[in-house]
Chains A and B, each alone.
Chain A
Amino acid sequence: MSDMNQLYQEVILDHNRKPRNWGALEGANRHAEGHNPLCGDHIKLTLNVAGEKIEAIAFEGHGCAICKASSSMMTGAVKGKTVQEAEMLVEEFRGMTTGTLDPDRQDNHLGKLKVFAGVKDLPSRVKCAILPWHTLHAALHSEAETSTEGLADPIPNSGIGEE
């Protein structure tokens, strides 16, 4: 297997197979939906935020392995964190996957999330990895919906393959 498939490491395949924090929270006080209309990824996030703290978080939806694993690991990473800490992770994750942050050389709090570093070499897949983070950001800002396309596009013209 060549380097490119380093992305599909066992940890990602495992989270894809058995996503953590799957489902919808009853009585959630934050929620958002994220779409990637070009590849059909669609996730729904529900959160309970008490004061500044993310007490609980869950997701459901459908998408590719990268999107599902990123969602699953994101929920694990931000549960119990403050909103501010979560927003910092959103920024760092975005930086890592778009190539503006080198997680091995620059300070960061990404930890296990570094398995997604390889996605920066696959421009058409960056949006799959970012979608849950983008959706988290929308939920924390009480925006009900977000998309990887149009004005909300985190990385314009990254070009998910169309014909």
Chain B
Amino acid sequence: MNSDSKKIARIDVDRVRADFPILNLQVSGKPLSYLDNAASSQMPQQVIDRIVRYQQEEHANIHRAVHYLSELATKEFEEARVKVQHFLNAKESREIIFTRGTTEAINLVMHGYGRAFIGRGDEIILSGLEHHANIVPWQMLAEEKGAEIRVIPMNDDGELLLDEFRALFNEKTKFLALTHVSNALGTVNPVKEMVAFAHQHGVPVLLDGAQAAPHHAIDVQDLDCDFYAFSGHKMCGPTGIGALYGRAQLLEKMQPYQGGGDMILSVTFEKTTYNVIPAKFEAGTPPIMGAIVLGAAIDYLNGLGLANIEAYEHELLDYATQRVSAIPGVKIIGTAKHKAAVLSFEIEGVHPHDVGTILNAEGIAIRTGHHCAQPVMQRFHVPATARASFAFYNTREEIDRLVEGIRKVQEMFS
């Protein structure tokens, strides 16, 4: 992450913006500045076109049918799986399972792995930075099994305390579920180092990559993680599609998540034989269009180059951090040394929801609230924050507008 961020950004932002029709919108009579990319990103025309082409020329249910459209859709769907495999640098395409998104991917691991291999008195380690999606499933499991949740604490910059992390491990530790990048603060965790430590204790690791996948190259073999989950809609793809990478040996010994068609080899009323991976985990008709269009989104990001995207967004973050932190009465929450393009802040004396509504009237879309990370809010003693999050199609001018908007809020509330 470090070495990449020093590269000179090679993003022609004017050309890139021309790919995104939605960026031409006017909101509240002002040009839209879309700074809510950590919640969901926008879609370029190339990816929108792929939806249209699929629906107009390629749609049918996949697998088994012998007709032309079904074979075409099946081929495109499986090619999308290979695109995801390469995107994550997984060893084999059967290690990629299509899901509804990161949340479903984590729930799949909780059901398929957690329920089979985590029992009474066992411990699951989470971090204080987790999104609710990587907390609640594990709490449900802990409650069901009588297992315990242990939490890695963080410092005032929003960085995990690695000594405390290491001290949490003991013979009862059975799983580590960790976010790669914090959605609320932007902290990039040293996941490779943390995975290696967990593995020294024989503990498998799931990484929540929802915020990481859109912004820099992921290499699951290099990270050596056991599971990696991400969502399509945060990386220029549609909602309703995401993927789980799982190490083949683990996926093979896991229990299925849902039962239904496609996940079986044979069914009688006496016994069902489950299919091999990845089909074992893809019950029912999958989001075929979603998967194929996610493949197109990956093509688009690869066309720009993940290293270029990362370097460009890093420049934006540095600029935004410098400008926003220079405003008296504004405090940035989340000041980790390694950060992705997320800027959480509070304006003294103004509730974040008021900030969000007033900025909206200026055409600026930011997110306000707890960002589905209430434990992070509790750690920093705030009910909510205002959060601007940047993508490679954002500009310095938009950050200038954000700064101007913040000043307007302060004037109104002075």
List the interface of chain A (C-beta within 8 A of B): 1-5, 7-8, 13, 16-17, 38-40, 62-66, 122, 124-125, 128, 160-163
Contact = CB atoms under 8 A, between A and B. Distances in A.
Q: Which label, helix, strand, loop or mixed, suits the secondary structure of the B interface?
A: mixed
Interface in B380-403: 383-384
B357 A39 contact: no
B50 interface: no
29 contacts: A2-B29, A2-B30, A2-B361, A3-B28, A4-B357, A5-B358, A5-B412, A7-B357, A8-B357, A13-B412, A39-B351, A39-B352, A39-B353, A40-B377, A40-B384, A64-B353, A65-B351, A65-B354, A66-B353, A122-B357, A124-B353, A125-B357, A128-B353, A161-B367, A161-B369, A162-B369, A162-B370, A163-B369, A163-B371
Contacts of B372: 162-163
B413 interface: yes
Nearest to A16: B413
Interface in B163-189: 183
A13 B377 CA distance: 26
Given A161-B367, A163-B367, A125 B183 contact: no
Interface of B: 28-30, 38-39, 183, 350-354, 356-358, 360-362, 367-372, 377, 383-384, 408, 412-413
B28 A62 contact: no
A66 B361 CA distance: 16
Contact of B369 (A13, A16, A122, A160): A160
Contacts of A17: 413
B358 A8 contact: yes
A17 to B, nearest CB: 8
A64 B354 contact: yes
Nearest to A160: B369
A79 to B, nearest CB: 25
A75 B277 CA distance: 62
A2 B354 CA distance: 15
